[in-house]
Structure 1
Amino acid sequence: MTPPSPTDLLQARYGMSLFNPDPFWNETLTTLLSHRSVRAYRPDALPPNTLEMLVAAAQAASSSLNLQTWSVVAIEDPTRKDKLAQLAGNQAHIRQCPLFLVWLADLARLHHLAQEQGLPAEGLDYLEMFLTATIDAALAAQNATLTAESLGLGTVYIGGMRNHPEAVAETLQLPPHLFAVFGLCVGYPDEAKPAAIKPRLPQAAVLHRETYNLARQEEAIAQYNEVMQQFYESQQMNVAGDWVEHSLKRVATAQALNGRDRLKEILQRLGFPLR
């Protein structure tokens, strides 16, 4: 099968022509623009040292102050994957994928080192450090994701790890000061159930020059509603309403957050004072 051209990939990402990408193109951009969320996997095992390669790529990501406030738990045991799938809303692809990675905001390591050295660690109790750890985990995971996709593997992030953080912590035997930010399925995509590239908002909605302008986004968002409607039809997805309606429903009430409205109090019980 002929691989998609740079123009085809940009067209898929935005649902429209944008600019001529040829002068900029390389294999890295092909990997980036080809990203899609894969929710159906073959049972094939991954090649030896795939996990170690993903972690090496993850550790190449930037880290604030080089504190490296993240960790990852690799899950291959079917029973544990099944438990995590249930906690994440019964997502079958967690069970299917040969490797499930849970990315952690990790302040436990620095707490432990401070305790061993008999030194204070009051700074770890502040929101800034929790935010730093969350960002570190996200940057590391994205490096691993791009690496997996460059190797012909499929991935999908699982925010459902935040549905029941305490139960996830118990399942992974996490001590205090650790939080599962999200999961990541990794495996060979099932070609019988191909995943499509989902269009994103036009650049006019997210790219601002010099200063931020909210009003100028309206036309771009209206255009995106039309693009997404065409996408749903092409994928034979019976979706009522447009992107704006879907998005606003997901933030309309505390109940729409599916239990994550209690995240602050749960984090405090997991050892993050968030001062």
Structure 2
Amino acid sequence: MNEVIATMMNHRSVRCFKDELLTDEQIVKIVEAAQMASSSSFMQSYSIIGITDKQVKDELGAITGLPYVANNGHLFIFCADLHRVTVMGSEAEREEMKSMLESSAFYQIAVTDTALAAQNALLAAESMGLGGVMLGAIARNLTRLDELLQLPQYVVPLFGMAVGVPDQQTDTKPRLPVPAVYFENHYSTNLEEQRERIEEYDERMRAYYLNRSENVRDDTWSKKHIAVLQSKAPVQHFTRYIQSKGLNRK
């Protein structure tokens, strides 16, 4: 196993960091690594915003309810960005581009580009001995986040990433078995096989949750996610916000 794969296989989310800021060199290297990710048609349709203002970080920590959003070595916000491609166009050209920019297809391109860049960034950080965690909770108040980041049309924040020097030893969380996610030639619709694999995985996850070093609980993968999907948590605000920014309208 080479060093890259070893780093990948050792991934775990870190939510407690030492009081040490990342250096400018570390930040630049993480961003440069993010930029080397694959990109659809080389559009590079994302932007990364580093939050260094303590007041902004504190407010984001209050919005999310997560202390590690405010307390970390550096906070990155990853945004899908289709604004940049309009900058060099004339007004007539921008109007002609509008139907494409507002399509679901181009929104998907921007989301995919952003996710690939973020994964590269996290892998780079971990290879430098740092830890990190992805933050979907920034979506709890997108309107305020939009104001704080001063985002133009066609730019939306998708998630954050807190990075820093780890101040905790966390466990590696078991993943679904390979046969549950990898199929040959066609999707497997054998429900009995699927249930068997998930039941086996649920038992592994129950053992993990009961024996990990912190936040011990009796839980399973399917129990947790069925509860989430049945909670009917409001998602319409997210759709409305995205469309208000001119994205994913068609």
Normalised by the length of structure 2, the TM-score is: 0.92
> Which residue of the partner structure matches residue 159 of structure 2?
182
Equivalent residues of 2:209, 2:219 under 8 A apart: no
> Which residue of the partner structure matches residue 9 of structure 2?
33
> Which residue of the partner structure matches residue 14 of structure 1?
none
Q: How many positions carry a matched residue from both structures?
A: 245
CA distance, structure 1, for counterparts of residue 219 and residue 131 of structure 2? 29
Equivalent residues of 2:49, 2:77 under 8 A apart: yes
2:121 to 138, 144, 165: 144
Shift of 1:242: 2.3
Shift of 1:118: 4.3
> Which residue of the partner structure matches residue 205 of structure 1?
180
CA distance, structure 2, for counterparts of residue 58 and residue 237 of structure 1? 31
| Equivalence map 1:60-139=2 (5 Å) | 60-88=36-64, 90-115=65-90, 118-119=93-94, 120-121=96-97, 122-139=99-116
- CA deviation string 1:182-226 (max 9, x = no partner): 000010000xx3111111111121111121113222111111111
> Cα–Cα, structure 1 residues 261 and 55, in superposed 2: closer, same or farther, change >3 Å?
same
> Which residue of the partner structure matches residue 137 of structure 2?
160
Shift of 1:115: 3.9
Deviating more after overlay: 231-240 vs 135-144: 231-240
> Which residue of the partner structure matches residue 223 of structure 2?
245
Equivalent residues of 1:61, 1:139 under 8 A apart: yes
Shift of 1:245: 1.2
> Which residue of the partner structure matches residue 49 of structure 1?
25
Equivalent residues of 1:87, 1:167 under 8 A apart: no
Normalised by the length of structure 1, the TM-score is: 0.84
Shift of 1:239: 2.3
- CA deviation string 1:27-75 (max 9, x = no partner): 0011100100000000112233111111111111111011111000001
CA distance, structure 1, for counterparts of residue 60 and residue 123 of structure 2? 23
CA distance, structure 1, for counterparts of residue 248 and residue 2 of structure 2? 45
Identity of aligned residues (%): 31
- CA deviation string 1:60-95 (max 9, x = no partner): 11110111110000012211111112222x110111
1:172 to 138, 141, 149: 149
What stretches of structure 2 of length at least 5 have no aligned partner?
Answer: none
What stretches of structure 1 of length at least 5 have no aligned partner?
Answer: 1-24
SS across alignment from 1:227: helix
Equivalent residues of 2:34, 2:118 under 8 A apart: yes
Equivalent residues of 2:74, 2:164 under 8 A apart: yes
Q: Which amino acid letter does the alignment assign opposite residue 34 of structure 1?
A: N
CA distance, structure 1, for counterparts of residue 194 and residue 93 of structure 2? 53
RMSD: 1.6
> Which residue of the partner structure matches residue 15 of structure 1?
none
1:223 to 200, 205, 208: 200
SS across alignment from 1:186: strand
